[in-house]
């Protein structure tokens, strides 16, 4: 459980090795997916704005990622679903490493 609700976890770094082999981490208030071999960042899963006031919860032995927020009205949860390819990061643009590898295969 990692809380970013009070803003004090801005410098907190946490890593989770998910049951499917994916690696997620909180860094600088962002939830980020990392390469499982090199631990290089692949992309942002949840940005700072979405993380504000929420806690990251990894449940079911690393199978489910949830964002939890406690308010006066109660607790709200949001499940972070993986993409069709199994990755979690949001693809705003294609990853440079993926593009480079694709071009190498084509050559």
Distances, alpha carbon 71 to alpha carbons 24, 26, 68, 98, in Å: 26, 22, 10, 40
Q: Could you tell me if 54 and 29 are in contact, meaning their C-beta atoms sit under 8 angstroms apart? A: no
Tens-digit pLDDT profile for residues 9-44: 566 788 899 988 999 999 888 899 999 999 999 999
How far apart CA 71 and CA 55 sit, in angstroms, is 12
Q: What is the pLDDT of residue 59?
A: 85
Asked if the model's pLDDT at residue 62 lies above 90, the reply is: no
Q: What is the pLDDT of residue 102?
A: 87
Selected residue with higher pLDDT from 73 and 9: 73
Is residue 81 exposed (0-12), middle (13-18) or buried (19+ Cβ within 10 Å)? exposed
């Amino acid at each position: 459980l990692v809380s970013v609700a009070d803003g004090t976890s801005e410098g907190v770094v946490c890593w989770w090795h998910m049951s499917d082999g994916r690696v997620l981490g909180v860094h600088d208030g962002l939830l980020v997916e990392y390469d499982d071999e090199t631990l290089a960042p692949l992309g942002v899963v949840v940005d700072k704005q979405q993380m504000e006031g929420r806690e990251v919860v990894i449940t079911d032995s690393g199978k489910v990622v949830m964002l939890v927020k406690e308010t006066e009205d109660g607790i709200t949860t949001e499940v972070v679903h993986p993409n069709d390819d199994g990755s979690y990061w949001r693809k705003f643009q294609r990853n440079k490493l993926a593009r480079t590898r694709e071009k190498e295969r084509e050559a």
